[in-house]
Amino acid sequence: MSDALGKELDIVDSNAMNSTPLLRSITSPADVKTLPSSQLKELCREIRITLLKYGHEHGGHIGSNLGMVEATVALHRVFDSPHDRIVFDVSHQSYVHKMLTGRALAYLEPEHFNEVTGFTNPDESEHDQFVLGHTGTSISLACGIAKTRNAETASNGTSGIGNVVAVIGDGSLSSGVAFEGLNNAAEQGGNLIIIFNDNEMSIAGDFGGMYGPLAKLRASGGTAQPNIFNAFGLDYRYVEAGNDVDALIAAFEEVRDINHPVVVHIHTLKGAGYEGEPVNGNASRPFQHTSTTDEAEGIVSTNNVLHSEPWHSDHCNLSDHEPHEGQCEASHWQNPDASLGRPEDPRKYYGKMAMAALEPRFASEPGLVVISPATPGSNGITHEFRERAGAHYVDTGITESHAVAFAAGIARAGGTPVVATTASFFQRAYDQFFQEMSLNRSRVTVLDFLGGLSGSDNTHSGAYDLAMFANIPQVTMLAPTSGRDFLDDLAWATLPAGAAGAPDGAVVIRVPGEGILAAERDSSLLPITGKHGTVRSDCTLDGMLAWRVNQQGSQVALLGLGNTYPLAERAAAALAERHGITATVIDPKQCTSLDTEALESLRKRHPLIITLEDGQLEGGWGEKITAYYANHWQRSAQDKPTARNPRVLNFGATKEFTDRVPLAELNDRYGLTVNSIMAAVTRCF
């Protein structure tokens, strides 16, 4: 590095230090309490600048955190964490909380960016109550903490727990479990403070009947009826100036140490401050947002209620790289600038492909409905598609359980529902998958995004989807290995009821992941089938479930399920090149049932069978192959008990949670590499 460049970087570092002196001085909530009141707005300004810069350099849930800057500063000004317990719902709104509890450097300096997760985590700090990335649970969790505190106080006259505060909002209040928590809180009684962050948004536009009354509450200054919180029997306070730190401090001080449950409804602006961002790297552009002044920050109503569009448009067509303040779906998750120009990820790529295949059918199939529980954009369900789809698209809000049951109702009435969301989010609907969908043989199609291994954080890992879906009775789970197979699977799953060859129950389609999309973009990653691939010849039930043999060989059979199929081809090519072994290569296409005819055909010439899956091995797919041969023992003519029973090796994930571990590292850890497979083969021979 040249001396000139080094001096330039020193100047940049110096400027960064000088622009956030207050934030850098905060090492714990105690420091927030000792700041002069006159400096609190300056602290908020520094936090907002830090979030804007962090979004460009690292990406993340920026919009919701920008809206919660003042509220979080006020929380730590008034309450005494960790004696007072603060529980963040979803906790994607907790970046500012992390900054104020000793982790500011993780947002200020790039070399520390990966030292914290995107959600609360007790392993990081005593100020974090739960590892939390899912939604709607904060009130229930807070009820549990408060229950224990109440019991301790009743027994001993004191407790080590003070106020219990649940922070919910940014769409999470629409989750069913949140209403269960509100119901319990009102009955339980005692100190429990529920901060409802109302930014007039979910992830995309708001959905549901509750949002009309909430709009009336905002318009009336919190006096309108019906008041859903009062209806539960809860005390209620409203703060219009949800981005005014002084107003919030006053409101929180009023409810601190309260002896009964209370909801504090604060009206905030999602993405507050985007309008003051530097443009094209021009850091000299003044920060214009009103939070930098001495006046209370006003909230500009965007009137995103009661729209005529059935999907409740937020009227924002900006990309993920161009978020703005207000009701903007793009501001929910901001991709870093470094991702500009990169090809689309598998979720968006295959999601757009699926929607493009379904859309032409809307005109002739009135019952065909795409259902997204709150996360359409990340799965390729674009603004434009939603607008054109009209009533054929429904965003149910963050309500996976309802979405699946709703789909079962559509199917029962003769419609064709397609439910699409992320694998880890579907965990919230497990009961509905068993009961309303499977037990009732509902013709529901499930698009399972981000299934399998990925570099996701520990709350979003899809490594458990195979064990979950493939073990539900009367459900067919397909694992396509190309875009063409994916569309064939979708067409079959959504055949009209009664059509020839149609499935007789629910179908889960695991949307292809990184391994498949990479192979589609680079045919050298499929050395056997190449860019032409193979064509499914039979789309009947039997044809959909029959395994596909793409190379016939001997000694070793490689069975690569879903995203691991390209690895099977590469391993087979390496075995041929380096060891002269022509392996049989099989694409199972599905993980619901075993193709026993294919398994029996492998006995004679394949002493070794290797199964590959990018999911949890325990309860997964490969173990079923092992169990099949163990339970269907055959003796040879020479009465040697193992002569016709292949040895089976299963490659896949350990039963564990992983947090932001790169996919390549996970594959290496679990032996899902060409070298690991070859080493296993050579050991066996």
String of b and e for 170-194 (b: at least 16 CB within 10 Å)? bbbbbbebbbebbbbbbeeebbbbb
String of b and e for 38-61 (b: at least 16 CB within 10 Å)? eebbebbbbbbbbbbbbbbebbbb
Q: Which of the pair, 617 or 640, is modelled with greater confidence?
A: 617
Q: Are 565 and 506 part of one and the same domain?
A: no
Q: Which of the pair, 532 or 585, is modelled with greater confidence?
A: 585
Q: Are 240 and 358 part of one and the same domain?
A: no
Q: How far is CA 685 from CA 555, 556, 574, 606, 678, in A?
A: 9, 10, 16, 12, 11
Residue 94 in tokens: 């907790």
Overall average pLDDT of the 169-192 stretch: 94
Overall average pLDDT of the 111-117 stretch: 95
Q: Order the strands of the 368-372 sheet from edge to edge.
A: 393-395, 368-372, 416-422, 445-449, 506-510, 475-478
Lowest pLDDT segment from 57-61, 263-267, 494-498: 494-498
Asked if pLDDT for residue 219 goes beyond 90, the answer is yes
Whether residue 37 lies inside any domain: the answer is yes
Whether residue 286 lies inside any domain: the answer is no
Whether residue 295 lies inside any domain: the answer is no
Overall average pLDDT of the 139-157 stretch: 96
Q: Are 89 and 136 in contact (CB under 8 A)?
A: yes
Q: What is the dihedral of CA 417, 422, 428, 432, to 10 degrees?
A: 20
Lowest pLDDT segment from 259-268, 450-459, 556-565: 450-459
Cα angle 421-90-310, degrees, rounded to a multiple of 5: 45
Task: Quickly state the pLDDT bin for 1 (edges 50, 70, 90).
Answer: very low
Q: Are 12 and 99 part of one and the same domain?
A: yes
Asked if pLDDT for residue 513 goes beyond 60, the answer is yes
Whether residue 318 lies inside any domain: the answer is no
* Bridge partners for 416 per DSSP: 368
Asked if pLDDT for residue 60 goes beyond 50, the answer is yes
Of the candidates 364, 370, 411, the one whose C-alpha atom is nearest the C-alpha of residue 392 is 370
Q: Are 465 and 588 part of one and the same domain?
A: no
DSSP for 245-284, written as a single string: HHHHHHHHHHHTT-SSEEEEEEE--TTTTGGGS-BTTBTT
The distance from CA 440 to its chain's CA centroid, rounded to whole angstroms, is: 28
Task: Quickly state the pLDDT bin for 291 (edges 50, 70, 90).
Answer: very low
Task: Quickly state the pLDDT bin for 539 (edges 50, 70, 90).
Answer: confident
Q: Are 105 and 207 part of one and the same domain?
A: yes
pLDDT at 546: 94
pLDDT at 15: 56
Q: How many Å apart are CA 12 and CA 281, to the nearest integer?
A: 13
Task: Quickly state the pLDDT bin for 340 (edges 50, 70, 90).
Answer: confident
Considering just the CA atoms, what is the radius of gyration of the chain in Å? 27
pLDDT at 498: 82
Q: Are 513 and 381 part of one and the same domain?
A: yes
pLDDT in tens, 349-396: 999 999 999 999 999 999 999 999 999 999 999 988 998 999 999 999
Q: Is 164 helix (H, G, I), strand (E, B) or coil?
A: strand
Q: Are 38 and 115 part of one and the same domain?
A: yes
Overall average pLDDT of the 140-147 stretch: 97
Q: Are 610 and 651 in contact (CB under 8 A)?
A: yes
Whether residue 293 lies inside any domain: the answer is no
Report the CATH number that the domain containing residue 561 is assigned in CATH: 3.40.50.920
Q: Show the domain range for 580.
A: 548-684
> Given 267, 287, 322, which residue is the final one in a domain?
267
pLDDT at 500: 87
Asked if pLDDT for residue 295 goes beyond 80, the answer is no
Is the preceding omega at residue 36 within 30 degrees of 0, hence cis? no
Count of the separate structural domains present in the chain: 3
Asked if pLDDT for residue 293 goes beyond 70, the answer is no
Q: Are 425 and 499 part of one and the same domain?
A: yes
Indicate the pairing of strand 548-551 with strand 584-587. Answer: antiparallel
Asked if pLDDT for residue 300 goes beyond 90, the answer is no
H helix runs in 82-127, sequence order: 95-98, 105-108
pLDDT in tens, 233-251: 999 999 999 999 999 999 9
Q: Are 163 and 113 part of one and the same domain?
A: yes
Overall average pLDDT of the 582-603 stretch: 96
Share of the chain above pLDDT 90, in %: 76
pLDDT in tens, 642-683: 457 899 999 999 999 999 999 999 999 999 999 999 999 999
pLDDT in tens, 469-501: 999 999 999 999 999 999 999 999 999 888 888
Q: How many Å apart are CA 202 and CA 653, to the nearest integer?
A: 34
Report the CATH number that the domain containing residue 172 is assigned in CATH: 3.40.50.970
Lowest pLDDT segment from 18-32, 201-215, 438-452: 201-215
pLDDT at 5: 36
First to last CA, the chain: 52
Residue 538 in tokens: 């039979």
Residue the block writes with tokens 């727990």: 161
Whether residue 303 lies inside any domain: the answer is no
Whether residue 360 lies inside any domain: the answer is yes
Cβ contacts of residue 591 below 8 Å, gap of 6+?
466, 470, 477, 479, 561, 562, 613, 621
pLDDT in tens, 6-46: 443 344 455 556 789 999 999 999 999 999 999 999 999 99
Q: Are 503 and 560 part of one and the same domain?
A: no
Q: Are 270 and 202 in contact (CB under 8 A)?
A: no
Could you tell me how many residues make up the chain?
Answer: 685
A 10 A CB-CB count for 357 gives: 15
Indicate the pairing of strand 647-653 with strand 608-616. Answer: parallel
Of the candidates 212, 256, 262, the one whose C-alpha atom is nearest the C-alpha of residue 237 is 262
Q: Are 460 and 453 in contact (CB under 8 A)?
A: no
Asked if pLDDT for residue 610 goes beyond 80, the answer is yes
Largest CA distance in the chain: 92
> Given 267, 302, 335, which residue is the final one in a domain?
267
pLDDT at 419: 98
Q: Are 86 and 79 in contact (CB under 8 A)?
A: yes
pLDDT at 306: 44
Whether residue 398 lies inside any domain: the answer is yes
Task: Quickly state the pLDDT bin for 640 (edges 50, 70, 90).
Answer: low
User: To the nearest whole number, what is the mean pLDDT of the chain?
Assistant: 89
Q: How many Å apart are CA 307 and CA 211, to the nearest integer?
A: 12
Q: Are 476 and 566 part of one and the same domain?
A: no
Of the candidates 174, 172, 169, the one whose C-alpha atom is nearest the C-alpha of residue 208 is 174
Share of the chain above pLDDT 70, in %: 89
Q: Are 465 and 560 part of one and the same domain?
A: no
Q: Is 672 helix (H, G, I), strand (E, B) or coil?
A: coil
Task: Quickly state the pLDDT bin for 208 (edges 50, 70, 90).
Answer: confident
Residue the block writes with tokens 């199964």: 611
